[in-house]
Amino acid sequence: MLGDSERLCEGAQAGDMAAASQLIALHYEKIFCYFRRLSGSDEDGEDLTQKTFLKVWSSINSFQGRSSFSTWIHGIAHNVYVDWRRKRSVTEFQSADWWEGCIAEGPSPFEDTTEREMARQLYACVEQLDEESKQAVHLHYYQGLSLKETAEVLNIATSTLKYRLREALEFLRSQTAESKFRTK
Amino acid sequence: MNDMKNVEDLLRKAPRPKVPSGLRERLEADVTLPRTATNAFNNNDWRPALKRWLPAFAFSVFFLGCVVAIAVQANLLVELRRENWQLQISANELEQSHQQQAESQKLADQTLEQLRKDNAELKRLQDEITQLQQEVRELADLRAQNQQLTASLKSAQAQAAAGGPPEEDPFKAQKDEAQSIQCVSNLKQVGLAARMWANDHGDVLPQDFVTMKNELNTPKILVCPADGSRTRARIWEEFSPANVSYELLAPGVSETEPPQTVLTRCPNHGHVGLIDGSVQRGMWKRAVQRNGRWVLE
């Protein structure tokens, strides 16, 4: 059974511009957020998002529905990010201040200030993870992909992904516990 | 454990960065969808498409050729099978016709043989019919003769009943002749026996028949066959004068008497036996008595 994105993709494959516009409307925010969290600037996020959609349109006919459209476009985005990162040799991390501002701008999902502070520290710690673990956390938790979809995007086995995520969570839990201890 | 859960919850609650304005429009402006198949064919540059589809096209042509070849061969095979089937049917029919012809020939031979047998039987029956017809004709003749004889018998019986002379026996003459000859033979044996006895007894003939019984051997020859009143004695112990038909007319005479001297006589036939041993048939009527002796003139 085909979802909305898959039907729109079929329309885009047939040359339907309206379907392409609807695909953009459905996915461009998530893709931009993915790049923005990783790249560290809005300009890079926009640029990578544009590159991603250009690749989407050039290879739209290669989409055969073996996975969901969201998984497919995240795979393209991941490859675009890897290329970009290889060329740029990016080493700087997303700063905790950016996460603070990001949290302050939108409607807060946190219950109290303590949780918000803890979230801020947690997100900053994510930036300290190794690249593979960071990609897994971003795709699974931030982008909301399932374990299977994340594994497909990263082109790894689901068991490998679970291992990486467990390792990442252990690291984050230990980091946040240290922060809590220092704060007290 | 709860810490891990809290960490996961917080990660899932990660806030979304603010999307710059105008990004969607720029993205929509950059959309360059690939041409559809119809548009591709309308384009004058058809060589890339041909290059892309050439392997598939070549394989399709090859596959289609194989299919056509297989179809043609299958069609030929079906035709050959049909022809083979028809030939087999024709061969079977020919074999059946040969068998029927052989059976017909055999039947004709049997019929001809039967006709020959019937013809032979018919001919045999015709011969039998001819023979039977001839026998029927002979039977008719025999019936006619039988009726004639029956009528003669009836007339003879009627004549006998009316007191007329009895009919003569047609075999009586032969019977009488035979008895006469037998009688002559008897007389010859008696004369021979008498002469034999005389040779042993001084040339004197015997006095009676019993005297020369050793020379006669059997008393049966002493009865004339025509003498129905006397019976023959089988042996000499049974012999008596009643068993003699002949008369001894010269008992005890010498052999030196004239040869016309009568020795024996048959009163039934008139035959006479002379002392020289000969027998004269029916000559008794010429016998005369001289000096106490009967002699033939």
pLDDT score for B50: 76
B91 CA to centre of own chain: 46
Residue A107: which CATH number? 1.10.10.10
CA pair distance B216, B199, nearest whole angstrom: 14
- From first to last of the 184 residues of chain A, give the pLDDT tens digit: 467 888 899 889 888 899 999 999 999 999 999 999 888 888 989 999 999 999 999 999 999 888 999 999 999 999 999 999 888 765 555 666 676 666 666 566 666 777 778 888 888 889 889 999 999 999 999 999 999 999 999 999 999 999 999 999 999 998 877 766 555 4
Give the gap in angstroms from C-alpha B13 to the nearest C-alpha of chain A.
Answer: 7
Answer with the one of A59, A88, A117 that is the final residue of a domain.
A88
Answer with the one of A42, A62, A88 that is the final residue of a domain.
A88
Please classify residue A44 by burial: count the beta carbons closer than 10 Å to its beta carbon, then call 0-12 exposed, 13-18 middle and 19+ buried: middle
Contacts of A118 in chain B (CB under 8 A): 10
User: Are B16 and A126 an interchain contact pair (Cβ–Cβ within 8 Å)?
Assistant: no
CA pair distance B134, B141, nearest whole angstrom: 10
| Residue A77 shares a structural domain with residue A101 | no
Give the gap in angstroms from C-alpha A89 to the nearest C-alpha of chain B.
Answer: 23
Determine the straight-line distance between the first and last CA of chain B, rounded to whole angstroms. 201
| Residue A80 shares a structural domain with residue A100 | no
pLDDT score for B272: 94
Which structural domain range is residue A69 located in?
4-88
CA pair distance B291, A156, nearest whole angstrom: 195
Q: Which amino acid is at B203?
A: D
When the pLDDT of each residue in chain B is averaged and rounded to a whole number, the result is 88
| Residue A13 shares a structural domain with residue A80 | yes
Q: And the tokens for B56?
A: 């598939």
| Residue A110 shares a structural domain with residue A155 | yes
CA B121 vs CA A118, B110, B129: distances in Å: 141, 16, 12
Give the gap in angstroms from C-alpha A64 to the nearest C-alpha of chain B.
Answer: 15
| Residue A19 shares a structural domain with residue A81 | yes
Model ipTM value: 0.83
| Residue A25 shares a structural domain with residue A63 | yes
Percent of chain B with pLDDT over 70: 93
| Residue A45 shares a structural domain with residue A105 | no
CA pair distance B121, B35, nearest whole angstrom: 111
- With vertex at residue B283, the alpha carbon angle to CA B279 and CA B234, rounded to the nearest 5 degrees, is 50
pLDDT score for A122: 87
**What is the interface size between A and B, counted as CB pairs within 8 Å?**
109
| Residue A79 shares a structural domain with residue A100 | no
| Residue A101 shares a structural domain with residue A179 | yes
Kindly tell me if the per-residue pLDDT of B40 is higher than 60.
Answer: no
pLDDT score for A88: 79
Q: Answer whether A26 touches B (CB < 8 Å).
A: no
Kindly tell me if the per-residue pLDDT of B41 is higher than 50.
Answer: no
| Residue owning tokens 């042996």 | B235
| Residue A20 shares a structural domain with residue A84 | yes
Domain ranges of chain B: 52-84, 97-142, 176-296
Each as own residue / partner, the long-range contacts of residues A114-118 (CB below 8 Å, 24 or more positions apart, any chain) are A115/B10, A118/A176, A118/A179, A118/A180, A118/B10
Going by pLDDT thresholds of 50, 70 and 90, the confidence category of residue B54 is: confident
| Residue A61 shares a structural domain with residue A122 | no
Residues of A numbered 140-159 whose beta carbons fall under 8 angstroms of chain B's beta carbons: which are they? Answer: 141-142, 144
Percent of chain A with pLDDT over 70: 82
B100-147 pLDDT, tens per residue? 999 999 999 999 999 999 999 999 999 999 999 999 999 988 989 998
| Residue owning tokens 């073996």 | A66
pLDDT score for A97: 67
B129 CA to centre of own chain: 21
| Residue A112 shares a structural domain with residue A159 | yes
Query: How many structural domains compose chain A?
Result: 2
B191-223 pLDDT, tens per residue? 999 999 999 998 899 999 999 988 888 899 999
Answer with the one of A67, A88, A109 that is the final residue of a domain.
A88
